[in-house]
């Protein structure tokens, strides 16, 4: 159900590192809890984040929830297509990345959850 090549946070974000850049989004569990996503507020490119910082919000028909950065680093890209079609997060949560971050402390990945640990949490 959850991609094994990702790491996860207890706040239900996923992160996948490829070529020194990390894509971040919310998990299938998170989108199911939120319901229909209607709006995303994402950061500007160039913003510096620390692990655990709120970097934006996701608004659904049920609630507004903060998004938290799984790692420290600089935002190098924002998925602007989600601004026009935020419901994409509901259809493909693990394919709908929100931001790309260039991690500044790669060791922080070790504190994140592996797929088996996250699967046990997200029940």
Query: Whose structure tokens read 């507020």?
Result: 41
Q: How confident is the model at residue 52 (pLDDT cuts 50, 70, 90)?
A: very high
Q: What is the pTM of this model?
A: 0.96
pLDDT at 106 > cutoff 90: no
Question: Nearest-CA neighbor of 52 among 31, 77, 76, 72?
Answer: 72
pLDDT in tens, 64-80: 999 999 999 999 999 99
Question: β-strand 48-49 against 54-60: which pairing, if any?
Answer: unpaired
Give dist(CA 107, CA 34) in Å, integer: 30
pLDDT at 86 > cutoff 90: yes
pLDDT at 1 > cutoff 90: no
Q: How confident is the model at residue 82 (pLDDT cuts 50, 70, 90)?
A: very high
Domains and CATH numbers, the chain: 7-114 (2.40.50.100)
Question: Nearest-CA neighbor of 111 among 60, 66, 72?
Answer: 72
């Amino acid at each position: 159900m959850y991609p094994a090549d990702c790491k996860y946070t207890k706040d239900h974000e996923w992160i996948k590192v490829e070529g020194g850049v990390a894509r971040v989004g919310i998990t299938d569990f998170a989108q199911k809890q939120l319901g229909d996503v209607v709006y995303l507020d994402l950061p500007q490119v160039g913003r510096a984040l620390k692990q655990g910082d709120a970097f934006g919000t996701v608004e659904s028909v049920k609630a507004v929830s903060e998004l938290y950065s799984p790692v420290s680093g600089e935002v190098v890209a924002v998925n602007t297509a989600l601004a026009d079609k935020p419901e994409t997060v509901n259809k493909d949560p693990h394919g709908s990345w929100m931001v790309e971050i260039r991690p500044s402390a790669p060791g922080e990945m070790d504190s994140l959850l592996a797929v088996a640990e996250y699967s046990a949490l997200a029940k």
